[in-house]
Amino acid sequence: MGVSSYFEFVTTLFGWILYDRIWAILVDTGIVFIPIIAMVIGNILDSHKGGDDEGGAALQSLKKIEADFIAMLGVLIFAGIPMLDVRLTDMEYAKPALRCNDTAQTVRGTDTGTTYDTTLTTLGEEEGRIPLWWALSHWLSKAITAASVAGIPCSYDVAAVEYTLAEANIEDPDLNRELGQFTEDCWRRAYSRYSREDKSGMNDAQRASVNWLGSDYFLSSGLYDQYTARQPNNRWTYDNVRDAGYDVYSAEGGFPTCSQWWASGTVGLRKRILDNLDPALLNEMVYDANNLVQVTSTVNLSLAEREDVFLRKYLAVKRESASVVFHGPLSTSYSDGAMQKALSQQREALTADSWLAQTGNSVLGSLRGQYAAAKDAGGTALAGIGGALKAGGSIGEGYTIRNGVALFQPLALMMMVMALPLLLIFSSYKLGALMTLTIIYFGFHFLTFIWAVAYWFDNQMMGLLTSAGGLGVFASTSAVTQTLIMWYVTRFLYIIFPILYLGAVGWVGIHTGSAMGELSGFGGKAGAIGASGGQAAQSAVTKGKS
């Protein structure tokens, strides 16, 4: 018996175990025979209501009982009575390769390699049983669904990049503290100096580069060489020339320049951040042959460039998600909107080398920034602030919906399986009701394909919305508009679209059930027609004798 997810191992086995036990209770109490008894009594009462015309009514009633009993008995035997065993050892999950860096594999229920094994161990000795009809429906549904999913092209999981990076915390408290110091001692001071320079000779790439800690422009232009750490760092030895004036701290370490502090070999912040992160994450995004940074980019990148692109995105996401709390931003968006200009102008004034010397500039910069924001952005500024407040939660919201909603399918199937005995009884074992339930059962199984399509479109939409600069999803932190668009697209793909699909399935199931109900009543109608025909023939003979 196949399943479509690891969670479905648990729900499928548990559902059919309960089905078997509920059915046994209904048989022991005789409840399963109530619909048959009700059918016989109902047909007899209907024949009496129609009157008795020399035995015609009795013959009609007998034919109705015969036709209805045969149909009900077929439903009872094939769709009600559990016959085939459902065991964990016979269950397997044909895991598709929806991600291009994955390979399709078959997972056995007795060894999934996940945390579900703990729960499955407790159910391993249990056995459920399934009726023939539902066993066939289960097999056919899984076969059609698996074939449909196999036809979907693979995609790289770019929609989960931001959430994955937000979850990759820097565990070293010293490194966290040092990043905060670097932001204050180097980036803010260099940015303040840069803001006062003539930028007419700079290109767009250089302007964009200044918005993160490892700015290529700050490193290559010498701005980072003009500033040093303001506190001693024991990873560097004291240098009499570079650290002149700090003799009292010579025993505690040196005062590296910002360029050294960021880029020096294994002791620089750049290398230490990479070393602190999960190697599997770095392999997937930077180092593997099909690394996400390169496959989502339209430009060729060297290893060092890929590392820088990854670091910039990582630091931007950490700032946005507030998973690492610093005194200032680790990275900012590539966006050069009016709101960002206004905030940058305020930062420039507030982070000048000398607070006393820049008090006037602070006031003027603040007023100038507020004026620029009001003039150029207006209400967009308020939207930007609201979006920024929501950004941290939005990073994981779409990811949570995408992964959590898939749990609905196995749970819905389990609840339907457990309710099937009662649903069959309440429907009086009618063929129409059985067909409706079968279509709904198939519809729940086919949700696997619906969500696989949603997964593909989710990743493709993310690639389309983050194609600026040729770096794809790694180009920058998500803008407010992009975050909101992806949030609503994700909700539509994983919630609204499946609801519309299930509504259509329910509509088809009801109409198919009605059509089957009419066919199942053909025996009764034939009996009525035969009885009427007999009465007409008898009347004709009587008239002939007269």
pLDDT category at 478 given cuts 50, 70, 90 is low
Q: What is the dihedral of CA 67, 73, 75, 81, to 10 degrees?
A: 180
Residue 177 CA to residue 181 CA, distance in Å, equals 6
Q: How many CB atoms lie within 10 A of CB 289?
A: 8
Dist CA 367 CA 533 (whole Å): 99
In sequence order, which residues have a C-beta less than 8 Å from that of residue 331 and are 6 or more positions away? 211, 212, 213, 312, 313, 315, 316, 319, 477
Name the more confident of 413 and 118: 413
Predicted confidence band of residue 349 (pLDDT cuts 50, 70, 90): very low
Report pLDDT for 437.
Answer: 93
Query: Residue 260: what pLDDT?
Result: 92
User: What pLDDT does residue 442 have?
Assistant: 93
φ, ψ (nearest 5 deg) of residue 446 = -75, -5
Q: Are 459 and 158 a contacting pair, CB within 8 Å? A: yes
Three-state SS for 3?
A: strand
Domain count, the chain: 2
Q: Is the pLDDT of residue 58 over 70?
A: no
pLDDT band at 511 (very low <50, low <70, confident <90, very high): confident
If pLDDT is split at 50, 70 and 90, which confidence band does 387 have?
Answer: very low
Query: Rounded distance, CA 354 to CA 364, Å?
Result: 16
Q: Are residues 283 and 421 in the same domain?
A: no
pLDDT digits (tens, 9 = 90+) for 40-50: 888 777 777 65
Same domain, yes or no: 128 and 180: no
Q: Are 373 and 468 part of one and the same domain?
A: no
Summarised one tens digit per residue, pLDDT across range 273-300 is 999 999 999 998 899 888 888 888 878 8
**Do the beta carbons of residue 309 and residue 293 sit within 8 Å?**
yes
CB 16 within 8 A of CB 128: yes
Within this chain, do residues 239 and 368 fall inside the same structural domain, yes or no? Answer: yes
The residue-averaged pLDDT of 18-32 equals 93
Assess whether pLDDT exceeds 60 at residue 140: yes
Please tell me the distance from the alpha carbon of residue 397 to that of residue 490, in angstroms, as a whole number: 9
520 falls within a domain: yes
CA dihedral (284, 285, 291, 295) positive or negative: positive
Q: What is the pLDDT of residue 358?
A: 38
Q: Which helix (H) or strand (E) holds 129?
A: strand 128-130
DSSP letter for each residue of 302-351: -HHHHHHHHHHHHHHHHHHHTSS--SS-SB--S---HHHHHHHHHHHHHT
**Among candidate residues 361, 378, 396, the one where a domain is terminated:** 396
Closest CA to 88 of 61, 64, 122, 65: 122
List % helix, strand, coil for the chain (3-state, nearest 5): 70, 5, 25
In the DSSP assignment, the letter for residue 84 is E
pLDDT tens string 350-364: 333 333 333 334 333
Average pLDDT over residues 251-270: 90
- What integer pLDDT is reported at residue 420 of this predicted model? 94
Asked if residue 479 has pLDDT above 80, the reply is: no
Q: Please check whether residue 334 is in contact with residue 212, taking contact to mean a CB–CB distance below 8 angstroms.
A: no
Whether 392 and 407 map to the same domain: the answer is: no
Task: Judge whether residue 101 has pLDDT over 90.
Answer: no
Sequence-ordered list of residues with C-beta below 8 angstroms from that of 394, at least 6 positions apart, any chain: 478, 483, 484, 487
> What does the mean pLDDT of the chain come to?
76
| Amino acid at residue number 166 | A
At residue 467, the pLDDT reads: 56
Looking at the domain assignment, is residue 7 inside a domain?
A: yes
Pairing of strands 105-108, 84-86: unpaired
Domain boundary among 380, 396, 412: 396
Query: Which CB contacts under 8 angstroms, 24+ apart, belong to 118-123?
Result: 119/10, 120/9, 120/10, 120/13, 120/88, 123/10, 123/13, 123/14, 123/17, 123/88
Of 51-55, 221-225, 362-366, 405-409, give the lowest mean pLDDT range. 362-366
How far apart, in whole angstroms, are the C-alpha atoms of residue 36 and residue 46? Answer: 15
Task: Give yes or no for residue 438 having a pLDDT over 70.
Answer: yes
Confidence of residue 381 (pLDDT cuts 50, 70, 90): very low
pLDDT of residue 399: 64
Residue 475 CB partners (closer than 8 Å, separation 6+) = 334, 466, 467, 468, 469
Residue 356 sits in the same domain as residue 424: no
Decide if 361 is inside a domain: yes
The answer, yes or no, to whether residue 171 has pLDDT greater than 90, is no
Residue 482 in domain: yes
Strand partners, 94: 106
Look at residue 468 in the predicted model and tell me its pLDDT.
55
Longest dimension (CA), the chain: 140
Strands (E), 184-247: none
Residue 204 and residue 103 share a domain: no
What is the percentage of the chain residues whose pLDDT exceeds 90? 24
**Structural domain span for residue 487:** 2-158+397-529
Least confident of 77-86, 111-120, 446-455: 111-120
**Residue 7 and residue 148 in one domain:** yes
Per the confidence metrics, is the pTM higher than 0.85?
no
One domain, residues 154 and 164: no
Q: Are residues 108 and 168 in the same domain?
A: no
pLDDT of residue 224: 92
Convert the pLDDT of each residue in 394-429 to its tens digit.
445 666 777 777 788 899 999 999 999 999 999 889
* Local structure of 111: helix, strand or coil: strand
* 535 in any annotated domain: no
Gap between the Cα atoms of 208 and 332, Å rounded: 9
Residue 538, in any domain of the structure: no
- Using one digit for the tens of pLDDT, what is the confidence trace for 301-329? 899 989 998 998 888 887 766 444 333 34
For residue 178, give both structure tokens: 């040092």
* Cβ atoms within 10 Å of 150's Cβ, excluding its own: 13
User: Are 57 and 193 within one domain?
Assistant: no
Q: What is the pLDDT of residue 345?
A: 39
544: in domain: no
- The partner residues of 92 in beta bridges, in order of sequence, read 2, 108
Mean pLDDT of 378-393: 38
Please, is 130 exposed, middle or buried when counting C-beta atoms within 10 Å of its C-beta (0-12, 13-18, 19+)? Answer: buried
Greater model confidence, 492 or 187: 187
pLDDT category, 348, cuts 50, 70, 90?
very low
Question: Is pLDDT above 70 for 497?
Answer: yes
| Residues 409 and 446: beta-carbon distance below 8 Å | no
What pLDDT digit, counting tens, does each position of 177-191 carry? 999 899 999 999 999
Task: Collect all residues with Cβ–Cβ distance below 8 Å to 352 and sequence separation of at least 6.
Answer: 192, 358, 361, 362
The residue out of 377, 396, 415 marking a domain boundary is 396
Same domain, 69 and 203: no
Would you say residue 534 lies in a domain? no
pLDDT at 344 over 50: no
